[in-house]
Amino acid sequence: VGISFKPGTDDLRESPLAELAARLIGRGMDLRVYDPFVTEAFTSDTTAAGRGLEVDIGLGSRLVESIDELIEGSEIVLVGNRYDETVQPLKAAMGNRPMIDLTRIVPGQRSDGSYEGICW
């Protein structure tokens, strides 16, 4: 969830999430991304779509339209940016599949079982 350097933008310059995505893809992982702002840039075919992405990872074909589509098609969910519309679906998915949360999507939530919070 999220690939831009911060929520609310389509800018990928110096995004650690974009770097992580490139590394995972480079290791043969099948990766899908839900990021509403990046998706909007690609769908509206703006010249800024994918700006700052130093490695071509085929991002346009990896973007999904909804958080539900991302969750349903994922073995593991990594949350890198918090978007309000993703909180409830992600909360409902906790325990159903491994989840790594870099944003603390649910205040007070603690790491346990298949849910791991990092950097908060």
Q: Which residues, given as ranges, of the chain have pLDDT below 50?
A: none
26-59-16 Cα angle (round to 5): 65
Considering the domain boundaries, does residue 11 fall inside one? Answer: no
Q: pLDDT tens-digit profile of 18-45? A: 899 989 999 999 999 999 999 988 888 6
- Residue 71 counted as domain residue: yes
Asked if residue 10 belongs to a domain, the reply is no
Structure tokens at 76: 């593991």
Instruction: State which residues form the domain around 29.
Output: 16-117
Q: What is the pTM (predicted TM-score) of this model?
A: 0.87
Residue written as tokens 């310059």? Answer: 13
Backbone φ, ψ for residue 51 (5° rounding)? -60, 140
pLDDT at 115: 92
Question: 79 φ, ψ to 5°?
Answer: -105, 110
Residue 31 lies in a domain: yes
Number of domains within the chain:
1
Structural domain contains residue 4:
no
One-letter amino acid at 40 equals E
